[in-house]
Structure 1
Amino acid sequence: MTNVITADQRLALLQALVACNNDANQNILQTCLAQYGHRISMDLVRNHLLWLEEQGLVKISRLDQNNTAFFVATITQRGLDVANGLSVVDGVNKPNPQY
């Protein structure tokens, strides 16, 4: 069950980036995830973003804020393809068909 939830949270992050004009900071993304039914910690948001970056689905800009990195994520073309169901990546849910 954990894998199903994790994969859905990752898809929700990609979809949130699309909805935010392709980039957003970690706070906005956490709020968007809550709107999609995933109320999770900032640490988990950041872990998902790092995983998505490793897969080439997002690029992360790290801004220094009080000696702590603050993430701003930008979706890549590959990430757009996954968010739109045109490509599949293990560990990310496929979106439901649009009707």
Structure 2
Amino acid sequence: MTDLATLQREDRRLVILRTLAEDIDYSLNTSILQTVLAGYGHGVARDVVDGDVQWLAEAGLVTVETLTGGRVTVATLTGHGLDVSQGMARHPGVRRPRPGA
């Protein structure tokens, strides 16, 4: 059985990918992602969001750009990240979306 922390982490990563997929240019900063995550029941600190975004970047699911002297981090969805967000591809560490969701 998977522990609660793992389930939460995998779901946060899916929410991030799906949120980026909804944006017109597939890019959002971590401040906005933190607010969206809270709306989905994941009220977490910014460093947790930054850690998830960095993990997604290392996995090739997003790219990361740092702006304004390192104060703003912007995540941009990759093609593979879009496939994972839609359930067309799987990636360990990211929850797979439910059918029709």
Corresponding residue SS for 1:61: strand
1:43 aligns with 2:47: yes
How many residues end up aligned between the 2 structures?
97
- In structure 1, stretches of 5+ residues that fail to align are none
The residue number in structure 2 matching 1:33 is: 37
- Structure 1 runs (4+) greater than 3 angstroms displaced: none
Q: 1:56 is matched by which residue type in structure 2? A: G
Moved more, 21-30 or 77-86: 21-30
Sequence identity percentage: 38
Q: Which residue of 15, 18, 27 maps to 2:18?
A: 15
Q: TM-score, normalised by structure 1?
A: 0.92
If the length of structure 2 is used for normalisation, what is the TM-score? Answer: 0.90
CA RMSD of aligned residues (A): 1.2
Q: Any idea what the Cα deviations from partners look like across 1:30-81, whole Å, max 9, x if unmatched? A: 111111111110000000000000000000011134xx34210100000000
Per-residue CA distance 1:3-49 (angstroms, 9 max, x = gap): 11100000000011112221101111111111111111000000000
CA distance in 1, matches of 2:95, 2:10: 5
Equivalent pair of 1:16/1:33 in contact (CA under 8 Å):
no
Looking at secondary structure, tell me which structure has more strand per residue: 1
Mapped pair 1:52 → 2:93: no
